[in-house]
Amino acid sequence: MRKAKALIFELSKPGRVSYSLPELDVPELELNELVPSEYLRQSAPEFPEVSEIDLMRHYTELSNRNHGVDSGFYPLGSCTMKYNPKINEDVARYPGFTGIHPYQDESTVQGALELMYHMQDYLAEITGMDAVTLQPAAGAHGEWTGLMLIRAYHESRGDKKRTKVIVPDSAHGTNPASATVAGFEIITVKSNADGNVDVNALREVVGEDTAALMLTNPNTLGLFEKDILEIAKVIHEAGGLVYYDGANANAILGIARPGDMGFDVVHLNLHKTFATPHGGGGPGSGPVGVKSILTPFLPKPMVGKKADKYYLDYDLPQSIGRVKSYYGNFGVIVKAFTYIRTMGPDGLRAVSENAVLNANYMFRRLQEYYDTPFQQHCKHEFVLSGVRQKRQGVRTLDIAKRLLDFGFHPPTIYFPLIVEECLMIEPTETENKETLDSFINVLIQIAKEAEEEPEKVINAPHTTVVGRLDEVTAARKPILKYTK
Amino acid sequence: MKFRYIPNTVEDQKEMLTAIGVDSVEELFADIPGAVRFKGELNIPKALSEHEITTYMTGLAKRNITINDYSNYLGAGVYQHLIPSVVNHVISRSEFYTAYTPYQPEISQGELQGIFEFQSLIAELTGMEAANSSMYDGATSLAEAAAMAAASTNRSKILVSKAVHPETRAVLKTYAKGQHLEVEEIEINNGQTDLELLKKSFTEDVATVIVQYPNFFGIVEDLAAVSELAHGNKSLFIVSANPMALPVLKAPGEYNADVVVGDNQPMGIPVSFGGPHVGFFAANSKLVRKMPGRIVGQTSDDEGTRGFVLTLQAREQHIRREKASSNICSNQALIALASAVYMNTMGKEGIVEVAKQNLQKAHYAFKVLTAIKGVEPLFTGPFFNEFAIKVGKPIKEINEQLLKANIIGGYDLSKDYPSLEGAMLIAVTEAKTKEQIDEFAARLEGLL
C-alpha cells in the first residue's frame, strides 16, 4: 500500500509547456528600455516544465492521496464536516460573482451588494444579534475582530482598565490566542464535574479588569452551558461583555440564539455551520454579529441600503477600521447564502435536530465500550475517553490511526485538553444511519482489538500510502521546500 | 418537508430515539433553559428548490457587470489575468475541497504535498528560504509580518511607506492597535517612498520598514536603498510584492528582504469582488520558526517512504494557546493550491512570458494614453503593469462616461490621496488586447 509520489518539480523536463497565451500584439521593446536593467531579474524562477496531461495526472494522483467528506465519513469534532452541496459550488462560480472587481462602481455590483445585505440580515436573525459584518476571513479572525470591538467599546466609555479576557479551560486554542493578539491578558476558568463553566469559580475571577468572557455553547464537550443566563449576568454585572464562539452553532439553529442567551458578540464559521467546504484548511469565512451597543465599532465598510440602492457604508466614525482587504471572502459568502436559501427556517432547524440526534445515538451506542466522562445528553458532538484502552497499551492516537484502515477520518483527538485520551466525535446531520452504524461497529471492533490484539492497533495504519511519519525529525531539521 | 442534505428517515429517527432511550428529539434539548429557547420560526425566507435557487442566484449574478463583459483597467491590488482551465478542474476535485486542515497526514498526503509545492514555488519566486502554507490575504499577511518583526526585534515601531496599498495600511493599523505597536507612515516623493524622510525616521525602536514592490502607484521602489537603511538600523526589511512582477523584476530576496508578503491573487485566482484570495508569507531562514500559520515539511515513515506533515506546530495557537504570537487557524489552502496549479501550468517559460506581456502592454498603454492632449504621467519612476496619469478632470465623472462605452476606467487616486485629485491608476495586463487599449485611449481622448 505504501507508495511515494514524485513532486511536480521531479516530473519537469526542459521544453515542455502546459500554458497558452495570446501572441503579444503590441510592439515589443527591449526590457531594459522599459525598466532599468539593474531592476531586472537575471534568471527565470525554476518553475516546473510539464505538459498539460502530466499536470492533470499529477494533481489527480495527489487528490487520490487525500480524504475529503466526499470520500467518506469525517467525524472531526468541532469542525462540522458536513456535506458540501454541489449547487453552492456552481453558483459561486457564476461569472457574475467571480468576475467583479472590488473597486467597481456600486451601480455595477448591485447583485453582489444585495446578496451581502441580505446575508447580514439572515445571520443577524439566526444569531439574535442586531448587526453583522461579513469581513473576517475565518473563525479565529472573527474572534479577534470581536475582541477588538469589545476593546473599542470599553475604551469609548473611558474604561481603560479592562485588560483581561476570561476563557474556560475547555475552549478552542484560538480563543486565548485571539485574545492575546487583541492585546488582552487571559484568565482561565475551570470547568466543573458536569463539564460546564463553574459559576462560582467564575465569580471569583471577574472584576473591574474583566473585558469579556469567551464561551462556546454548546461547549467543546458537546454540552449546553445550562447556566448561561447566570454566567452572562455575572459578567455583565462586573461591566464585561460576553463573546460567543460560534464553532458549535450547528447544534442551535432555530433552537436557541446567542443573542437571547445574553451574548453581546458572536462569530460564525460559514465553513462549518453553513456547509461551505473547508478546502483542505480554507478559505473560510467568519462573520461577526453584535448587539447594538457595539454596532458603531464594526469594521468598515458595511453594506447599506438607501431607497432601493445598495451601497458600501464607510461613514462609521467609531469603527475599529479594516480587518481585511475589501469585503471578506465573498465567494464563500455566496455559497453559504445559497445554503441558507436552500434550507429555509425549517431546514436549518432540521439540521440542528438531526445533528444532535445523530450525536446522541452514537454516544449511547458507544458508551459501553469507551469511557464517557459526562453522562448527560450531548448536543451536536460528544467526547469519549480512551483511558480503558490506554491500560492495554493502546493510546487514542493508535485508535485514530486504526480508523484509517477502515476508510474513516478519525475524530478530533486529545482535545478538549481537560479529558484524558480524548476522542471528540461530531457526526453532523448529513450522515445516514448506515454510516453511523458502520463507524460505531468499527470503534467497537477496535475496542476489542485493543484488548485482544493490541499490536494491530498500535501498528496501524496498515493500508495507507505512507505509514506514521517522523514528525520529530520534520520539526528538528525542517525541509520546507523542494531543492534540486 | 424533506431535505436532500439530511438523510434520516422517520423510521431512522425512531430507531435512534429508541437506542438513546428518549421519546422525542425535543427531550435532547431539555437542558436548554426555557427562557433562552427560540420560539417560533426564524425570519428568513422559505426553502427554495434547486431550480428556484439557481434561477434566483442567476438573477443576482446578472445584476453585476463583470470585467469580462467590459474592458477593465482597474487593478489597485486586484488584477485581471487569464486563468488556465485546468486550475478550476483541479480545485473542483472534491478530495481536495471537502477536506479539513490535514491533521491526519496518512490520508492527507495529496493536500500536504500540494501545499509543499506551493511553499516551494513561493520561496523560489520571492527568492526567500521558506514560505508558509498561506494567510487570509496580502493585507493580513503584511500585518502579521509586522507583528512578527516587532516580536523578534523586541521593538515596537513600524515604518510603512504611504505607497503601500491604503487598505493594507488600514489593516496594519487595526492589528497594530491590538498589539500595542506604533505605526508611522513615510511620505512619498514622485510616487516613491521618500528615502530622505525615511532616513530621518529611524530610531532605535524601529522594528521594521515596509515597502510595496511595485508600490501602490505601480512604481518599482529602490529596494536596495531601503534594505540598506533598514539593516543599518538593525530593523527588519519587509517587502509586500506583486507576485506577477517577480518573474521579470529582481526578487526581494536578492535585496536581502527578511520577509516577503503579498497576495497571490494575480496567480490564477478570479477577482471575485475581493475574495477569497490568498496571502503568502516568505521569510529568511532565521525567521522560519517565528513565521505565523501552518507550515508543511518533508519527512519519511519507518520504511523510508517520503511523506509530508504539518510541522513546527509548537508555534501555533492550538499548542501555545495564549502564548501564541498569531491566532491564525484556517487559512486559504484551496486558493493556495489553485495558485500553485497556475504557477505550475505557466511553468518556467510561461511565467516569464506572461510577466513580460504585462510589462509590454502596460508600457504600450502608457505611451498611447500619455500621447493624448490633456493627459500627463503623474510620476516618472519605472513601472511594471500599472501606472498613474493626470487627466485634470474628476475621475468619478470620467469613469461614469467610460462606463457608458463599456469601459471600466482606472482607480480614482483621490479616494485615498486627496492631493491627487484628477489622477487615475491604470492596470494593463495580458488580458487586454491592443485593440481594447486603443479604444480606451480614443474614448478617454473624447472626454477631455
Q: Give me A260's grid cell.
A: 437571547
Q: Give me B219's grid cell.
A: 512604481
CA distance B22 to chain A (A): 10
Q: List the beta bridge partners of residue A241.
A: A212
- Does one domain contain both B330 and B440? no
CA distance A457 to chain B (A): 15
What structural domains and CATH numbers belong to chain A? Answer: 8-64 (no CATH), 88-342 (3.40.640.10), 346-458 (3.90.1150.10)
- Does one domain contain both B188 and B136? yes
DSSP states of A247-271 as a string?
TTGGGTTTTB-HHHHT-SEEEE-TT
Report the alpha-carbon distance of residue A477 to residue B415 in Å, rounded.
49
CB neighbours of A467 closer than 8 A, spacing ≥ 6?
A: A2, A461, B106, B301, B302, B303, B305
The answer to whether position B127 is within a domain reads yes
CA distance A437 to chain B (A): 11
DSSP element (H, E) containing A386: none
Domain that includes residue B436, residue range: 71-82+350-447
Final residue of a structural domain among B341, B366, B391 = B341
CB neighbours of A309 closer than 8 A, spacing ≥ 6?
A: A106, A107, A110
The answer to whether position B417 is within a domain reads yes
Question: What is the ipTM metric for this complex?
Answer: 0.98
> Are the CB atoms for B379 and B388 separated by under 8 Å?
yes
Selecting from A69, A111, A350 the residue whose C-beta is nearest the C-beta of B98 gives: A69
- CB–CB contact B5 A4 (8 Å): no
Q: What is the dihedral sign for C-alpha A137, A140, A146, A152?
A: negative
Report the alpha-carbon distance of residue B254 to residue B252 in Å, rounded.
5
CATH number at residue B274: 3.40.640.10
Residues 75 to 134 of A: which have CB under 8 A from any B CB? 76, 79, 81-85, 87, 89-91, 93-105, 108-112, 114-115, 122, 125-126, 128
Report the alpha-carbon distance of residue A56 to residue B345 in Å, rounded.
10
Selecting from B21, B72, B98 the residue whose C-beta is nearest the C-beta of A68 gives: B98
Final residue of a structural domain among B341, B359, B377 = B341
Q: What was the pLDDT predicted at B432? A: 98
Report the alpha-carbon distance of residue B234 to residue B70 in Å, rounded.
48
- CB–CB contact A47 B363 (8 Å): no
The answer to whether position B53 is within a domain reads no
Question: What distances in angstroms separate CA B250 from CA A169, A334, B125, B220, B355, one per listed residue?
Answer: 49, 38, 10, 10, 13
For residue A114, give the nearest of A318, A334, A277 by alpha carbon.
Answer: A334
Amino acid at A481: K
Final residue of a structural domain among B298, B318, B341 = B341
Selecting from B32, B44, B69 the residue whose C-beta is nearest the C-beta of A340 gives: B44
The answer to whether position B9 is within a domain reads no
Report the alpha-carbon distance of residue A386 to residue A425 in Å, rounded.
13
- Does one domain contain both B113 and B142? yes
Q: List the beta bridge partners of residue B188.
A: B193
Regions of chain A where pLDDT drops below 50: none
Q: List the beta bridge partners of residue A218.
A: none
- Does one domain contain both B75 and B95? no
- Does one domain contain both B162 and B276? yes
- CB–CB contact A466 B93 (8 Å): no
Report the alpha-carbon distance of residue A200 to residue A210 in Å, rounded.
16
Question: What distances in angstroms separate CA A426 from CA A77, A380, A413, one per listed residue?
Answer: 5, 6, 12
CATH number at residue B416: 3.90.1150.10
> How many C-beta neighbours within 10 Å does residue A75 have?
26
- CB–CB contact B116 A128 (8 Å): no
The answer to whether position B15 is within a domain reads no
Q: What was the pLDDT predicted at B96? A: 98
Report the alpha-carbon distance of residue A312 to residue B324 in Å, rounded.
35
Contacts of the segment A26-32: beta carbons below 8 A, 24+ positions apart: A26/B360, A26/B361, A26/B364, A26/B434, A26/B437, A27/B364, A28/B360, A29/B360, A29/B363, A31/B248, A31/B356, A31/B359
- CB–CB contact A91 B53 (8 Å): yes
The answer to whether position B24 is within a domain reads no
- CB–CB contact B349 A342 (8 Å): no
- Does one domain contain both B203 and B278? yes
CA distance B44 to chain A (A): 6
For residue B131, give the 3-state DSSP assignment. Answer: strand
DSSP element (H, E) containing B397: helix B395-404
- Does one domain contain both B269 and B363? no
DSSP element (H, E) containing B319: helix B317-320
**Minimum CA–CA partner of A337 in chain B:** B57
> Are the CB atoms for A49 and B349 separated by under 8 Å?
yes
Supply φ then ψ for residue B283, to 5 degrees. -145, 165
- Does one domain contain both B239 and B332? yes
The answer to whether position B272 is within a domain reads yes
- Does one domain contain both B329 and B366? no
What's the domain count of chain B? 2
> Are the CB atoms for B379 and B426 separated by under 8 Å?
no
- Does one domain contain both B98 and B222? yes
- Does one domain contain both B397 and B277? no
For residue A239, give the 3-state DSSP assignment. Answer: coil
pLDDT in tens, chain B (448 residues): 799 999 999 999 999 999 999 999 999 999 999 999 999 999 999 999 999 999 999 999 999 999 999 999 999 999 999 999 999 999 999 999 999 999 999 999 999 999 999 999 999 999 999 999 999 999 999 999 999 999 999 999 999 999 999 999 999 999 999 999 999 999 999 999 999 999 999 999 999 999 999 999 999 999 999 999 999 999 999 999 999 999 999 999 999 999 999 999 999 999 999 999 999 999 999 999 999 999 999 999 999 999 999 999 887 777 777 788 899 999 999 999 999 999 999 999 999 999 999 999 999 999 999 999 999 999 999 999 999 999 989 999 999 999 999 999 999 999 999 999 999 999 999 999 999 999 999 999 999 9
DSSP element (H, E) containing A106: none
The answer to whether position B36 is within a domain reads no
Kindly list the residues from chain A whose CB atom is less than 8 angstroms away from the CB atom of residue B351.
44-45, 47
> How many C-beta neighbours within 10 Å does residue B142 have?
32
Residues 235 to 254 of A: which have CB under 8 A from any B CB? 253-254
Residue B293, Ramachandran bin (φ over 0: left; ψ between -120 and 50: alpha; else beta): left
- Does one domain contain both B156 and B243? yes
Q: What was the pLDDT predicted at B323? A: 80
User: Which residue has 443577524 as its cell numbers?
Assistant: A124
Binning chain B into helix, strand and coil, the percentages to the nearest 5 are 45, 15, 40
CB contacts < 8 A (A, B) = 709
Q: Give me A397's grid cell.
A: 492516537
DSSP element (H, E) containing B109: helix B109-126
Selecting from A24, A41, A409 the residue whose C-beta is nearest the C-beta of B251 gives: A41
Using only the alpha carbons of chain A, give its radius of gyration. Answer: 25
B183 in A contact zone (CB under 8 Å): no
Residues 172 to 201 of A: which have CB under 8 A from any B CB? 172-174, 176-183, 186
- CB–CB contact A97 B64 (8 Å): yes
Kindly list the residues from chain A whose CB atom is less than 8 angstroms away from the CB atom of residue B301.
2, 466-470
